[in-house]
A and B are shown apart, each in its own frame.
Chain A
Amino acid sequence: MMSTSQVIYAGWMEIPTSAVNEDARRRAEDAAISALVDQYAAALYRVAYSVLRNPSDAEDAVQEAFLRVLRHRESLAEVRDHRVWLIRIVWNIVLDRKRRTKTRPETDDVAELARVLPSKGLSQEEIAAAAEHHARVLGCVERLPAKEREVLLLSAFEELTSVEIATVLSITESSVRSRLFRARNLMAELLDHERSLR
Chain B
Amino acid sequence: MNSNPHNPMTSNSDSGANFGEDTLRLIASLPAPEGIEERVHKALRSAPPRKGQVVAWPAEIGSRVLPQSIHSNWMRAAAAAAIVFVVVGGGWGVYSRVEQGQSGKVVVMPARVPGSSGFAGAGAIRTPQTLPGPTIREQATPAGSEGASHRSEQGTPAAKKPSAPKKLTSSSSQPTATQVAPPSAVSK
- A residues bordering B, Cβ < 8 Å? 33-34, 37-38, 41-42, 45-46, 49-50, 53, 55, 59, 62-63, 66-67, 70-71, 116-118, 133-134, 137-138, 140-141, 152-153, 155-163, 165, 176-177, 180-181, 183-184, 187-188, 191
CB distance from B27 to the nearest CB of A (A): 5
> Chain A residues with Cβ under 8 A from B21's Cβ?
152, 156
Binding site for A on B (CB under 8 A): 1-4, 6-10, 12-13, 18-21, 23-33, 36-37, 39-41, 43-44, 47, 50
Q: Measured between C-beta atoms, what is the minimum distance from B82 to chain A in Å?
A: 25
Q: Within 8 Å CB of A67, what residues of B? A: 43-44, 47
Are A46 and B33 in contact (CB-based, < 8 A)? Answer: no
Closest A-B pairs by Cβ, 6 of them = A137-B20, A156-B24, A161-B6, A42-B32, A45-B32, A137-B23
Of A59, A62, A160, A183, the contact of B7 (CB 8 Å cutoff): A160
Q: Are B13 and A161 in contact (CB-based, < 8 A)?
A: no
Query: Can you list 20 A-B contacts (CB < 8 A)?
Result: A41-B40, A42-B31, A45-B33, A46-B28, A55-B33, A63-B39, A63-B43, A70-B44, A71-B50, A117-B30, A133-B23, A155-B7, A156-B9, A156-B27, A161-B4, A161-B6, A163-B6, A184-B19, A187-B18, A188-B18
Residue numbers in A under 8 Å from B40 (CB-CB): 37, 41, 62-63, 66
- What distance in Å separates the Cβ of A107 from its nearest Cβ neighbour in chain B? 8
Complex Cα–Cα for A34 and B13 (A): 38
CA distance A145 to B130 in the complex (A): 78
- Which residues of A sit under 8 angstroms from B28, Cβ to Cβ? 46, 50, 153, 156-158
- B30 pairs with A152, CB closer than 8 A: no
Cβ of A152: which chain B residues have Cβ within 8 Å of it?
A: 19, 21, 24
Cβ of B47 and Cβ of A158 under 8 Å apart? no
A62 to B38: give the CA distance in the assembly, Å. Answer: 12
Taking CB atoms, residues of chain B closer than 8 Å to A45 are: 32-33, 36
Provide the bound-state CA to CA distance between A157 and B9, in Å.
Answer: 9
Chain A residue nearest to B9 in the complex (CB)? A155
Q: Report the nearest A residue to B18, measured CB to CB.
A: A188
Chain B hits for A188, CB < 8 A: 18-19
Query: In the complex, which residues of chain A have a beta carbon less than 8 angstroms from the beta carbon of B27?
Result: 49-50, 53, 134, 138, 156
